[in-house]
Amino acid sequence: MIKNKSIRVAVLVSGNGTNLQEIIDSTTTGKININIVAVISENPSAYALTRAKKSGISTHLIDFHKFKTRKIFDEELEKLLITLNLELIVLAGYMRILAESTVNNFIGKIINIHPSLLPAFPGLNTYERVIQSKDRWHGTSVHFVTVELDGGPSFLQYRIKIGPNDTASKLKARVQKGEYEIYPLAIEWFADKRVYFSKGRAFFDGNHLQKPIVIDEKC
């Protein structure tokens, strides 16, 4: 297959950045063909910023707590994203909700990874909540970002079976292993235009996805 020219990508982070690391490594090894032009954080102590610097990627800190109002913070971030001339924005453990205007400006170009089998468990503490729910399955979802929190269409999920002795931390370790597999894959699909967003829906190889593609944990 003829590969597309590498697309301009920014990764937004707030924390450790293990997903970012996997994306950087997949780029370095040629597994995915993208150009990470910026790593952006709202949190000055995000270790993800250090990871980016170690790889020679330019970093931007838009320190959430240094802004007088939420509106000014949102405007500053949106301004930066526009300046970067991006084709894809990857949220990788980014802990702020993007402003409606930002989402609308980049609709179809923002993806997120959320640790649940969406639409189950949007929001925080998904591991604790799934254990309490007695569900049999958990996992993680890659979805297009829309203005509804964790509500945009998912196109790729990694699924694990919950055992009787599972705890939130055991689930998290297994799910994150899956994230390192599916997030680079999702980005590759996007870069190759195999997956795209149109009129609120996700498409794969030209077909509307009624439900996300699911990869099961290999036992």
- Interface residues with ligand GRF (CB under 6 A) are 15-20, 48, 92-93, 113-115, 140, 176, 179
CA–CA gap between residue 23 and residue 118 (Å, rounded): 22
Q: Which lies closer to ligand GRF via its Cβ, residue 106 or residue 121?
A: 121
Q: Which lies closer to ligand GRF via its Cβ, residue 7 or residue 145?
A: 145
At closest approach, how far in Å is the CB of 133 from ligand GRF? 18
Q: Which lies closer to ligand GRF via its Cβ, residue 31 or residue 172?
A: 172
3-state helix/strand/coil string of the chain:
CCCCCCEEEEEEECCCCHHHHHHHHHHHCCCCCEEEEEEEECCCCCHHHHHHHHCCCCEEECCHHHCCCHHHHHHHHHHHHHHCCCCEEEECCCCCCCCHHHHHHCCCCEEEEECCCCCCCCCCCHHHHHHHHCCCEEEEEEEECCCCCCCCCEEEEEEEECCCCCCHHHHHHHHHHHHHHHHHHHHHHHHCCCEEEECCEEEECCEECCCCEEEECCC
How many residues does this entry show for the chain? 219
The answer to whether 60 is a known catalytic residue is no
At closest approach, how far in Å is the CB of 53 from ligand GRF? 16
Q: Which lies closer to ligand GRF via its Cβ, residue 172 or residue 194?
A: 172
At closest approach, how far in Å is the CB of 56 from ligand GRF? 19
Q: Which lies closer to ligand GRF via its Cβ, residue 19 or residue 102?
A: 19
At closest approach, how far in Å is the CB of 199 from ligand GRF? 26
What type of residue is 197?
F
β-pair type (201-204, 207-208):
antiparallel
At closest approach, how far in Å is the CB of 81 from ligand GRF? 19
* Residue of 60, 114, 138, 143 with catalytic role: 114
Q: Which residues are catalytic?
A: 114
